[in-house]
Structure 1
Amino acid sequence: MINNFCKVPLWECHSTLIKVAQGQQPADTVIRHANLVSVTTHEVLPDADIAISCGRVAYLGLGGHTAEHCIGPDTQVIDAAGKYVAPGYIDSHIHVESAMIGCGEYAKVVVPRGTTAIFADPHECCNVVGLKGVRVMFDDAKRAPLKAMLTTPSCVPAVTGFDDAGAYVDAPQVAATMDWPDVVGLGEMMNFPGILGGEKNAQDEVAETLKAGKCVTGHYSISETDRGLNAYIASGVRACHESITPDDVMAKLRMGMYVQARYGSAWLTLPGYLPQVLASGVDTRLIVLCTDDNHPNTLVSEGGMDRALRACVAAGADAVSALQFATINAAQMLGVDADMGSVTPGKCADLVILPDLESFIPEAVMIDGDLVAREGRPLFGLDLYRWPDFMTHTMNVGRNFTAADFEIAVELPDGRARVRAIGGVGGSTITQDIVVEVPVVDGKLRADPERDVLKMAVFDRHHGAEGTHSYGFCTGFGVHGALAQTVSHDSHNLLVVGDNDEDMALVAQTLVECGGGEVAVADGKVLALVELPVCGLMSDKDVDTVAAEVAKIEQAWSDMGCTMPSPFMTMGILSLPCVPVLRLTNRGYVNCETFQFEDLLA
């Protein structure tokens, strides 16, 4: 694969690197006296020198050898003074839109914390406005030094026939993107039922990616480790970030699949399986780290990949192994290891200078040999991106909401009725399929907040008056009032949850009027609002402002009675019809194990 993300291609500068390595030409930069984290050999190499030219490593001074011969009068010399130098972190699977900002703003917050490259799957944006919106997102990305590598969205919508998105992507469109210079693979193939069931478009998307010699990333979210998993991997899918149990992970590793260990704002299952996997003693070369989804306030206050690295160490990994998960393993997974993933001769000088191997928060960050961040701050400035109109006018619900829109009429006598409900589970993408009893009053189903049973509604926001909607119930959130969001994976329709119809109408109408986002209401009062006018997913403000707004609405969730971590993300996947067990889309309840629609009344 020709790497389009480096300052200079290796074939163009290798003769210069040859000269620099032998002292025949001075380096641009030399780092002296570093403890070099060698991810190729799982060592920390003391008192190492690193000579950089053309944005690449030209020479390593190891075992008593130095880079003094590479230093000329104009060479910048950096004394690492015994600090650690490691490869820059590579996030192997990320949806930038989950941070509610564009790629430029995203780079400003993650680069100073050590992330130098991302494999980004913008299927959130794509489900709303299609591939032309993806192109706009990555035009924004080009303004920043972060190496934003694009994996083409594969599932728009996520699973065919179960909900309605704002766009559709098929195999010919995927094939056309394989010629885009920033495309390195196919985004997560969520439609594993289509792959296993012989759905032509799903299989053709994989085939077009393989034909282009690029990586197919996956999403196998069920704990099945026999015929289905074998077939899914045999189709050409190389990686998966949806493992939940140690058995899931071990089966995938044994079948040669990269396991993307995920640790984001809400998906916190990594500590539940990584200790057992490490204790088994298996080779970890196929374990790769990713964040998947991070809120802006998580990124600002706790970090991204650095936070995930700390979680790996807390789960039992040694620091060098954790860094391998976040660097060379990721680069090898997507086939870019010829240019990145290690601090070795010929590779891009994407590196971090760390005061220790505990916090993983760098003092300085280099990308292609350029110093791009220091002491937690970016050294590059970007104006706020100007988004085109087609991406900022995407609320097409076709109605103004009233309380009557949230009444669930049934032909039952007053009393109580047994209904199917989604059991939300904090920190996990998996939900429960449960049966609960709710009141029936005047022929209408009501919420039962005393038993933590809330009403749900999902309205198609892409097709106006022609769009459909559905109703259901959920548990686990424990709030009084109502919440709504247009971040509802993956079709991103208007999702409303609440314990009374009046507040549900207010949250829905609030988002219609502001162009999308998330809002919390109690007793007729708006407690917090995050406006996301770009596709109903992203803000047009700077990252610090958005982080503060999200922190305020998370506090509102807490004040309303919710104790979940990042409940906004947990609520947002109640509509995702490809992860077990039960989901509610604009078309109704979907059983994500049998892939059939289910009735509301049990």
Structure 2
Amino acid sequence: MGMIIKNISVYQTFTQQFEIKDVLIENGRFAYIADSLSITNESVVMDGTGKWMIPGLIDIHIHIESSMTLPSRFSEAVLPHGVTTVVADPHEVANVFGIEGVQSFLSNATALDIFYGIPSSVPSTSPQLETTGGFIGVNEVKTLLKNPMILCLGEVMNFQHLCKEETSMIKDIIKACQELKPFLPIEGHCPKITGRDLADFIAAGVTADHTQQTPESIVEKIKSGMFLEIQKKSMTKETIQTLINHHFYDYFAFVTDDVMVDQLLKGHLNELIKLAVSLGMSVEKAIYCSTYTPARRMHLEDRGMIAPGRLADFIVLSDLNQFTIHSVYKKGECVWGEDFTYKEKHDQIFPSYFYESIKCKKATIEDFKIKVSGKKAICNVIQIQPHSTFTKHIQKEVIIKKGQLDYKSANLCLLTIYERYGKNNNIAHALLDAPIHQRGAIATSCAHDHHNVMVMGNHAEDMMLAQQTICEMQGGYVVVQNGCVVAKAFLEIGGIISAQPIQVLAQQLKEVRVAMQQLGYQHDNEIMSFSTLSLPVSPELKVTDVGMINTKTQEIIPLIAEVYDENFN
């Protein structure tokens, strides 16, 4: 028995226009699209008059762990937003648990089609520069390539090892992929890489980039043969106009990359379509770059358009210009509508050690004393950049009192990272340029990508309390103000994922976000800004359990650049 949708405005992918048609769906696939279809007694008929039909949205670059929830809860959250297929890069859970973490996600069946990329950079740099719980090498890659749910090699991050060294693990991983699956898409992460460096990166096999773009980088990368994945932080009037002016529609797709769980309730890829339209792109082109181009990039030939033989994954819109979703269908079945919401089973069971992964020592006051001889020091300092996860490397003069850096007198905060896997008990320090102004501390175990325990603050007792609370919780976020814990979010699975209902976790993260703001943390995404201070492949200066890292050169930067003795004037 088939379903016929009558008199609906159907999106025609190859003309990027709408035409009023009748649509026949049989066995979960589109069977026939015509000007008029006859109705039989066996037909289920739906009147589409005054509505629009578009393919289900496809997001080919996301990290489910950035939403800090289970794949099943992620599925239940994004289907109402019209997202019917995603390609996820599980490199966060891989950094904590290795191939076992990836396989735990692959085993979780959901109504949403979740395909995966193989984490290519675990660790993101090298074991000498950061300690992780897991490791993905050539053998693990070869094992994962056998799984039909694997569609690509996940974002290659380490430019230095790929392009500046004769031999490296990432070179071996790419070679293995090219030999075993010659047409496997290889995803990239190459912010601020240009000229010959960019050419070398592409020549090494990387054919896409999802990082923050400028009008200049868009033109250079696409003309150099790269497919671009445009996320929200790249979407400005200038960048969207660049894509429009050059008619680059076939060479990019909109992606979300990271969506915090409290934002996930409000929208997903559908919000980027609305944003693109508000910035000057036609809704027809925005739909094209959220359905067909991502499907083509990942060789998903059975979806991304409304045509015979393709999966009947589609959205019914009640308002095209406002992109108002009336209902969402997966393989011809309604999964979300005004009177219906599909309910997933949230019964995935992880190994017991997934819940006991925080093994670092609890902080003491002594941990936050930076001891040094002299009168003044020139210190290397991290400056957080607004509207970005990038940082800037600056230097500041800091007074030394009683043999310790008096960083508070220089309006600085201390950031300390504790190795959490029980491998070496590393502790590393960095200084931040005035991220908060009130007395307090912020701590997390969700520190991209190594996910060691990270605590930042301007008061030693508050920092100690925040770090100890994270250890007791076995992962999450904590904000302390004036000696009291004022906000918590629990991430009990690997210190990065929660099994709680999304609404519960979203409320906890909202409270963390508000508490950070009350301390003075200013950013349009406070939590992600804080959590990526530890990402040693994102410009410019970041921190691991080994120390501060120049993310371009992959060199360790000392906390103290120079010390002046008592005779300093």
Q: TM-score range by the shorter chain?
A: over 0.9
1:411 aligns with one of 373, 382, 388: 373
How many angstroms does 1:377 deviate by?
5.8
Equivalent residues in 2 for 1:329-340, closer than 5 Å: 329-336=293-300, 338-340=301-303
For residues 436 and 84 of structure 1, the distance between their equivalents in structure 2, rounded to whole angstroms, comes to: 58
SS at match of 2:107: helix
Cα distance in structure 1, aligned partners of 2:46 and 2:445: 48
Cα gap change, 1:563/1:377 in structure 2, threshold over 3 Å: closer, same or farther?
farther
What is the count of residue pairs matched by the alignment?
556
1: CA distance, partners of 2:321 / 2:161:
43
Aligned with 1:274 (options 239, 247, 254): 239
Say whether residues 1:521 and 2:480 are aligned partners. yes
Aligned equivalents of 2:6, 2:552: Cα separation in 1:
56
Q: 2:498 aligns to what SS in structure 1?
A: coil
Q: What's the TM-score, normalizing by structure 1?
A: 0.89
Q: Which residue of 1 aligns with 2:41?
A: 73
Q: Kindly indicate whether the alpha-carbon contact (under 8 Å) linking 1:210 and 1:216 is maintained by their aligned counterparts in 2.
A: no
Partner Cα distance (1:238, 1:58) in 2: 34
Q: How does 1:76-155 map to 2 (within 5 A)?
A: 76-140=44-108, 142=109, 144-155=110-121
Quote how far apart the aligned CAs of 1:519 are.
0.5
Structure 2: how far apart are the matches of 1:476 and 1:315?
33
Q: Which moved more, 1:155-164 or 1:234-243?
A: 234-243
The one of 408, 427, 432 aligned to 1:448:
408
Distance 2:337 2:71 in 1: 20
* 2:394 aligned residue: 434
Contact map agreement 1:51 1:57 (CA 8 A) in 2: yes
CA offset at residue 189 of structure 1? Answer: 0.7
Amino acid of the residue matched to residue 596 of structure 1? E
- Pairs within 5 Å for 1:269-418: 269-271=234-236, 273-300=238-265, 302-336=266-300, 338-375=301-338, 378-397=341-360, 399-413=361-375, 416-418=376-378
Query: Is the aligned partner of 1:220 residue 2:152?
Result: no
Query: SS of the counterpart of 1:411?
Result: coil
1:189 maps to 2:189: no
Pairwise CA distance, 1:67: 2.2
Q: Is the 8 A contact 2:241 2:280 kept in 1?
A: no
> Which amino acid letter does the alignment assign opposite residue 23 of structure 2?
I
Deviation at 1:39, TM superposition (A): 2.5
Aligned residue type for 1:36 = V
Counterpart for residue 173 of structure 2: 205
> C-alpha displacement at 1:55, in angstroms?
1.1
Query: 3-state DSSP class of the match of 1:593?
Result: coil
Contact 2:73 2:344 in 1 (8 A): no
Q: 1:507 deviation in Å?
A: 0.5
Look up the equivalent residue of 1:412 and give its one-letter code.
G
1:110 Cα deviation after fit: 0.5
Deviation at 1:133, TM superposition (A): 1.3
2:529 aligned with 1:570: yes
Structure 1 residue 452 displacement after superposition: 4.7
Matches within 5 A, 1:454-533: 454-464=413-423, 466-475=424-433, 477-480=435-438, 481-533=440-492
| Counterpart code for 2:295 | A
SS in 1 for 2:389: coil
For the pair 1:242 / 2:215, whether they are aligned, the reply is: no
Residue type of the partner of 1:456?
Answer: L
Change (3 A) 1:60 1:452: farther
Q: Cα gap change, 1:438/1:310 in structure 2, threshold over 3 Å: closer, same or farther?
A: farther
Query: Which is further off, 228-237 or 368-377?
Result: 368-377
1:173 corresponds to which of 113, 116, 140: 140
- Return closer, same or farther for 1:370/1:101 CA change in 2, 3 Å cut-off: same
For residue 123 of structure 1, what is the amino acid of its counterpart?
A: H
Q: Using the TM superposition, give the Cα deviation of residue 205 of structure 1 relative to its aligned residue in structure 2, in angstroms.
A: 1.4
Q: Distance in 1 between matches of 2:255 and 2:196?
A: 27
Partners in 2 of 1:171 and 1:455 — Cα distance?
38
C-alpha distance after superposition, 1:319-378 (max 9, x if no partner): 111111111010111111x20111111111111011122343421111111111113963
Q: Is the 8 A contact 1:90 1:115 kept in 2?
A: yes
Is the 8 Å Cα contact of residues 155 and 189 (structure 2) preserved in structure 1? Answer: yes
2:565 — aligned with what?
none
What secondary structure sits across from 1:554 in the alignment? helix
Alpha-carbon separation, structure 1, partners of 2:13 and 2:383: 42
Alignment-mate amino acid for residue 49 of structure 1: D
For the residue of structure 2 that corresponds to 1:285, the secondary structure is: helix
Distance 1:313 1:567, change over 3 A: same
Q: Letter of the aligned partner of 2:354 in structure 1?
A: M
Residue by residue, what CA displacement relative to the aligned partner does 1:228-254 show, whole Å, maximum 9, x if unpaired? 111211222221101321111111111
Contact 1:243 1:249 in 2 (8 A): no
1:15 equivalent in structure 2 = none
After superposition, the Cα gap between the structure-2 partners of 1:37 and 1:452, relative to the gap in structure 1 and judged at 3 Å, is farther
CA–CA distance in structure 2, aligned partners of residues 522 and 292 of structure 1: 31
Residue of structure 2 in register with 1:21 after alignment: none
The 2-side partners of 1:472 and 1:578 are apart by 17
Return the letter of the residue paired with 2:167.
Answer: E
Distance 1:485 1:248 in 2: 33
The separation in 2 between residues aligned to 1:498 and 1:377, in whole angstroms, is 46
Distance change >3 Å, CA 452–CA 86, structure 1 → 2:
farther
| Contact 2:441/2:459 (8 A) holds in 1 | yes
Kept after mapping to 1: 8 A contact 2:244/2:281: no
**1:221 Cα shift?**
1.6
Deviation beyond 4 Å, 4+ runs, structure 1 = none
Moved more, 314-323 or 377-386: 377-386
Looking at structure 1, the residues matched to 292 and 411 of structure 2 have their Cα atoms a distance apart, in angstroms, of 46
State the Cα distance separating 1:468 from its structure 2 match: 1.0
- Aligned partners of 1:97 and 1:537 also within 8 Å: yes
Pairwise CA distance, 1:177:
0.7
Report how far residue 401 of structure 1 moved. 1.5
2:21 paired with 1:32: no
SS of residue paired to 2:319: coil
In 1: Cα distance, 2:398 partner to 2:481 partner: 21
Counterparts in 2 of 1:215 and 1:410: CA distance versus 1, 3 Å: same
**1:476: how far off?**
5.5
Letter in 2 for 1:159: T
For the pair 1:230 / 2:199, whether they are aligned, the reply is: yes
**CA apart distance, 1:269:** 3.1
Partner letter of residue 436 of structure 2?
Answer: G
| Range 357-366 or range 185-194, more displaced | 357-366
Q: What is the CA deviation profile of residues 87-143 of structure 1, one whole-angstrom value per residue up to 9, with x for unaligned ones? A: 111111000011110100001110111110111001000000111111112222x1x
Q: Give the Cα separation in 1 of the matches to 2:523 and 2:103.
A: 35
Tell me, what secondary structure is at the counterpart of 1:92? strand
Out of 200, 209, 221, the position equivalent to 1:252 is 221
Gap regions ≥5 residues in structure 1: 1-26
Q: Hey, what does 1:58 align to over in structure 2?
A: 31
Report the Cα distance in structure 1 between the residues aligned to 2:500 and 2:280, rounded to whole angstroms. 39
